Amino acid sequence: MPGTRRKHVPLRTCIACYRQRPKRELIRVVHTPEGTIDIDPRGKRPGRGAYLCSDSHCWEVALEQGKLARALRCQVDAEHVASLKAQAASLFAQEPATGLGVGGDAREPVHG
């Protein structure tokens, strides 16, 4: 149709597996100006953000290997890790199974 434009879909990269996906398919973790680290379900809160797949393996890698701290450019202590794990568990329990991270992309994650 002449005159219609396709909507731009912003892409973001998971900090654990490095797969690019549409922004709405990833979960944003934000380090707010107040110093808290939380999951940002709407993706609009102010602060430095990092994106993760809804795959539990990506969350384990990001939280246990320090990738989240590096992406947010702040210290992520054990209290923050426990809080994020609890928030993620409740978030995943609310969402229907999406299939993200389960065979959706045959590429191996890049470690480095």
Share of the chain above pLDDT 70, in %: 82
Residues across the chain:
112
Report how far apart the first and last C-alpha atoms of the chain are (Å, whole number): 45
Domain range for 86: 11-94
Averaged confidence pLDDT in the chain: 85
pTM across the whole model: 0.78
Does residue 99 fall inside a structural domain?
no
- The predicted structure's pLDDT at residue 98: 47
Does residue 106 fall inside a structural domain?
no
- The predicted structure's pLDDT at residue 68: 96
Q: What is the CATH number of the domain that holds 65?
A: 3.30.1230.10
pLDDT in tens, 13-56: 999 999 999 999 999 999 999 999 999 989 999 999 999 999 98
Does residue 72 fall inside a structural domain?
yes
Residue 41 half-sphere exposure toward CB, CA atoms < 13 A: 7
